[in-house]
Structure 1
Amino acid sequence: MDGTKRSRIKPGVKVNVVQKQDQRSNRLTEGTVKDILTNSQTHPHGIKVRLTSGIVGRVKEVFETDEK
């Protein structure tokens, strides 16, 4: 799933983010969401999050979970 909708992203979810310095190369960093930093429900470039590692970036991909 893409990361443009806030409702898809919750703390503890595994995601791929692009950091500010990697936007031109579109290099992705994988991690687990700690905090959601974007207040709006959608963002065309991805919801901004802080990962448990401390990295801040915009979500490009949300990994599917088995939880229903």
Structure 2
Amino acid sequence: MDGKNRKNIKPGQKVRIVLKKDQRTGTLTEGVVATLLTKSPTHPHGIKVRLADGQVGRVKEILE
């Protein structure tokens, strides 16, 4: 599942995000969602989240 719809993402889920510093390379970082930062229901580049370890980025993949 992709991370463009806010309704698909819940705190506690395992996701892969792209950090701001990694946007050029597209390197993904895996972690657990702590909070959702994007307020709109969808976003073309992915919903912005804060991971449990404090890193912030846009969701590219939702892991099952």
Structure 2 residue runs of 5 or longer lacking an equivalent are none
Structure 1 residue runs of 5 or longer lacking an equivalent are none
Deviation at 1:50, TM superposition (A): 0.1
TM-score using structure 2 length: 0.99
Matches of 2:27 and 2:63 in 1, distance apart? 17
Question: What does 1:1-20 correspond to in 2, within 5 Å?
Answer: 1-20=1-20
State the identity %: 64
Give the alignment's Cα RMSD to 1 decimal: 0.4
Aligned residues: 64
Q: Which has the larger radius of gyration?
A: 1
List structure 1 runs of 4+ shifted beyond 6 angstroms.
none
Q: Secondary structure at the match of 1:43?
A: coil
